[in-house]
């Protein structure tokens, strides 16, 4: 794996411990599981990061960090995966999750093409689309997060077996 490459860029526990901005999080931030690169920690981080990326909300990185602390998975990976939804991909992903929510709830997709840059318009539109948007986002986040979790676990296992077999062949 690219374990050594990741470890080169991860902060050391001493750096974290001595950072005055992170002291409020206390000992919880020094949990080794938040920084280790192993199959369980990375797979859970993929689930957390991708799940949060699909949820339309502000401060996604903070939510991913909180969940990573709660689940005790790799913090940097979970937080960085939130950027799957960036200003370029966000409209496409969230419109797709909205359509999925509409399909599940069996309601028609809103086709309002008159955009108005006002708080009133935004609140009116959110009042109409919030339920299918969040339902579709949560279900899609759970599905894609679960698939990524399983994929990482399988890929990691496959890689370990392949390396082990190569070592066995080199011994002969």
Which pLDDT tens digit goes with each residue over 39-69? 899 999 999 999 999 999 889 998 998 899 8
What local confidence, expressed as pLDDT, does residue 120 receive?
A: 76
- pLDDT digit string (tens) for 92-147? 998 899 999 999 999 888 776 676 666 776 677 777 888 998 999 999 999 999 99
Residue 58 DSSP code: S
Q: List the one residue out of 109, 154, 118 whose CA is nearest residue 136.
A: 109
What local confidence, expressed as pLDDT, does residue 12 receive?
A: 65
pTM of whole model > 0.85?
no
CA 80 to chain centre: 7
Give the other-Cβ count within 10 Å of 40's Cβ. Answer: 16
- Please compute the mean of the pLDDT values over residues 1-19 and round it to a whole number: 64
| pLDDT higher than 60, residue 2 | no
- Please compute the mean of the pLDDT values over residues 10-24 and round it to a whole number: 65
User: Who wins on pLDDT, 39 or 6?
Assistant: 39
- Please compute the mean of the pLDDT values over residues 14-19 and round it to a whole number: 68
What local confidence, expressed as pLDDT, does residue 52 receive?
A: 96
Q: How far is CA 89 from CA 33, 70, 80, 82, 95, in A?
A: 30, 27, 15, 12, 10
Contact present, 49 and 77 (Cβ < 8 Å): yes
- Give me the half-sphere count of Cα atoms (radius 13 Å) on the Cβ side of residue 68: 32
Spatial distance between the Cα atoms of 55 and 164, rounded to a whole number of angstroms: 39
Confidence of residue 27 (pLDDT cuts 50, 70, 90): low
What local confidence, expressed as pLDDT, does residue 148 receive?
A: 96
What local confidence, expressed as pLDDT, does residue 55 receive?
A: 93
Q: Find where tokens 């955009």 sit.
A: 115
């Amino acid at each position: 794996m690219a374990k050594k490459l990741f470890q080169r860029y991860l902060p050391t526990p001493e750096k974290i411990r001595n950072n005055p901005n992170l002291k409020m999080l206390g000992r919880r931030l020094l949990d080794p599981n938040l920084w280790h690169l192993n199959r369980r920690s990375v797979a859970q981080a993929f689930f957390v990061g991708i799940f949060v990326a699909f949820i339309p909300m502000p401060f996604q990185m903070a939510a991913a960090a909180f969940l990573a602390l709660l689940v005790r998975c790799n913090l940097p990976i979970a937080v960085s995966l939130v950027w799957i939804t960036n200003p370029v991909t966000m409209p496409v992903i969230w419109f797709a999750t909205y359509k999925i929510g509409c399909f599940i709830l069996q309601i028609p997709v809103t086709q309002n093409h008159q955009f108005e840059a006002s708080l009133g318009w935004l609140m009116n539109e959110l009042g109409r689309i919030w339920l299918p948007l969040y339902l579709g986002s949560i279900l899609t986040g759970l599905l894609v997060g679960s698939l990524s979790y399983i994929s990482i676990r399988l890929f990691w296992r496959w890689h370990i077996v392949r390396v082990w077999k190569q070592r066995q062949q080199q011994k002969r």
